[in-house]
Amino acid sequence: MRIKFLIHDLDYEELTDYRKLYKYLKKRLIDGKMTYIFLDEIQNVTDFPKVLDSLYIKKNIDIYVTGSNAYMLSSEIATMISGRYIQIEMLPLSFKEYMESTGSMNDRGIKYAEYLQNSSFPFTLELKNQPDEIRDYLEGIYNTIVVKDIINRKKITDTMMLKSVLRFVFDNIGNPLSSKKIADTMTSEGRKIDTKTVEKYLEAFSESYIIYQAKRYNIKGKQYLKTLEKYYIVDIGMRYMLLGSRQADAGHVLENIVYLELLRRGYDVYVGKINSYEVDFVAQNKKGTVYFQVALTVQDENTLLRELRPLQAIRDHYPKIILTMDEEPEEQYEGIRRINARDWLLGIVD
């Protein structure tokens, strides 16, 4: 038997009380029969770990829960249900998944542009390139995350300032940032804000999975650095919705797409520092490390040399890759591979 419902459905609003939810579920259990329980947006239930804990000790129950912010992963909750769950973090569609969902792997240049502008959220495929409907949908997601999740949960009073900080981060994907730099820049533009408030907002954005922080890593010293991290966002379509299309920023947009793809492939991802150079991504997993530079094009020789130097400065034997949008066959430069980014995103090359 399966028990499945949406907690945010008004028909079940009273079940956001953990006692009532537990009683509701317990009544529907049948002794000796396997029961599968599916609970969506479980973080909306007060003290929900108590429900899971009580159900866990009963026989013949398999429980699946979903949630859309980092409260699901907080240390307090992890302690309460430690050792009794498997965690799966989800991201929007990859470019490969997007292409497959359209039913054709052709016209990848056109579909890449659609993937960026129309969004990587799966439901936008149902809207079939209807810009107004897609925009309304993305605005709905944005308002749900910012208003319902962040403002209400964190009890934010200055909603305009919160949105201004989020727009600033969206506008600066792939740029080194610090709380102080954000506060100083916004204050100089007449929007006075202190560093601690910026830190609070950035933490809230990260907890809601609307942004991701890539910390810096000293490759030579093998140390994690605490300053000038970079931020990437969950969906480029949402950025277009907020800021409009900015062709001059296409390099950082590609960087954002690559960052999310590395997360999907199970890597921990950092921004590398080697001597005076920056490596776009240091991707680490149990198998080892891969270094990435990301550039729109390296057809200009000076640009190619600029992208090669950081990788050439690394004195180990882990793979080193430059990803570009240049539609040319793969090349190697003393062991450093230059690969077409779309080929890599589609899994045509590793």
pTM of the model: 0.90
CA 98 to mean position of chain CA atoms: 16
2-80: which CATH number, 3.40.50.300, 3.40.50.720, 3.40.50.2300, 3.10.129.10? 3.40.50.300
pLDDT at 53: 86
Which pLDDT score, from 0 to 100, does residue 89 have?
83
For residue 224, what pLDDT is reported? 92
Q: Delimit the domains of the chain by residue range.
A: 2-80, 95-345
> Is residue 51 exposed (0-12), middle (13-18) or buried (19+ Cβ within 10 Å)?
buried
Q: What does the pLDDT read at residue 58? A: 87
Residues (pLDDT < 70) of the chain are 3-8, 69-83, 247-248
Q: What is the 3-state secondary structure (H, E, C) of the chain?
A: CEEEEECCCHHHHHHHCHHHHHHHHHHCCCCCCCEEEEEECHHHCCCHHHHHHHHHCCCCEEEEECCCCHHHHCHHHHHHCCCCCCCCCCCCCCHHHHHHHCCCCCCHHHHHHHHHHHCCCHHHHHHCCCHHHHHHHHHHHHHHHHHHHHHHHHCCCCHHHHHHHHHHHHHCCCCCECHHHHHHHHHHCCCCCCHHHHHHHHHHHHHCCCEEEECEEECCCCEECCCCEEEEECCHHHHHHHHCCCHHHHHHHHHHHHHHHHHHCCCEEEEEEECCEEEEEEEEECCEEEEEEECCCCCCHHHHHHHHHHHHCCCCCCCEEEEECCCCCCEEECCEEEEEHHHHHCCCCC
pLDDT per residue as tens digits for the range 198-231: 999 999 999 889 999 999 999 999 999 988 899 9
Say what the pLDDT of residue 339 is.
98
**pLDDT tens for each residue of 77-113:** 666 666 677 878 889 999 999 999 988 888 999 999 9
Q: Which residue type is seen at 225?
A: L
